[in-house]
Amino acid sequence: MNEAQTEINIPHLFRCPISLDLLEDPVTLTTGQTYDRSSIEKWISAVSQTEDLCHVLGNSQKLVHEIVQVVMNQNSVDNDEVSTAAIKALSALSSLESNKESLVKCGAINGIITYISRCENGKKINLAPLAMATLKKLLVLESGKEALVNHVNGIETLVKMVFKVCNQECSESAVGILSIICSDFGSAREVAIGAGVLSQLLFLLQSQCGTKTKTKARMLLKLLRSKWSEESMQV
């Protein structure tokens, strides 16, 4: 019996309907259809329009959760194509108000902070601005703010991004996010000050950053000082 005669026919259920290859890391969606994780990630990166992505995903919290897990996965962060797909997907989904609550519930805040933290450590800094912009969009929700404040390293991670010589966009986003959180949460102010935000802001003001970024930095400094004075008088 030759090789052609002994060839095994692989059932279609074991193949990814996108790539038609064998399933290596299967992911079953709420529709019941199973895909290979890498194929889903590549497909997400190919869907460039926000409305197209949202139309396909619909209200599938399970798939949103899968995307968040991709962001948090170390192997994904080390893979440009995968991490780009996941961050772009979260950014697109967060553009619609109807998706924001689902994103927060699925752990998007934690996922984004994890990603930014790894960027801060020297990897994939090119996507940090997009990740931070996505984070800011989710802070219109109280649940989003609370998720950030309650993250064990959330505030500290943002403080480290305040003075980024190589990325002014990250600095501006970090200052903007901290302004939102520190305005509403006394605990966030304490953590930020303890993490060195005051010195980071002073370094930023002495740098060659743009006027808009410096204006935001001054406003945050003023906020922290005024809140600190008010709280000191109440003691």
41, 175, 204 from 215: Cα distances, Å: 39, 10, 11
Q: Percent of the chain at pLDDT above 90?
A: 37
Segment among 58-62, 130-134, 165-169 with least mean pLDDT: 58-62
Q: What is the pLDDT averaged over residues 116-131?
A: 75
More confident residue, 163 or 44: 163
Amino acid at 94: S
Q: Give the Cα separation of 137 and 222 in Å (integer).
A: 24
Q: Identify whether the C-beta of residue 173 lies closer than 8 Å to the C-beta of residue 133.
A: yes
Q: What angle do CA 110, 128, 179 make, to 5 degrees?
A: 70
Ramachandran assignment for 26, one of left (phi > 0), alpha (psi -120 to 50 degrees), beta (any other): beta
- 128-133: long-range contacts at Cβ-Cβ below 8 A with a sequence spacing of 24 or more? 128/161, 128/167, 128/170, 129/167, 129/169, 129/170, 129/173, 130/87, 130/88, 130/91, 131/87, 131/90, 131/91, 132/161, 132/170, 132/173, 132/174, 132/177, 133/91, 133/173
Segment among 45-54, 128-137, 140-149 with least mean pLDDT: 45-54
Helix, coil or strand: residue 26: strand
pLDDT for res 164: 78
Segment among 26-40, 152-166, 189-203 with least mean pLDDT: 26-40
Domain boundaries, the chain: 10-151, 154-235
Res. 62 pLDDT band, cuts 50 70 90: low
Of 175, 188, 163, give the one whose Cα is nearest residue 136: 175
Has residue 55 got a pLDDT over 60? Answer: no
Has residue 187 got a pLDDT over 90? Answer: yes
Fold of domain 10-151: Leucine-rich Repeat Variant (1.25.10)
The mean of the pLDDT values for the chain is 77
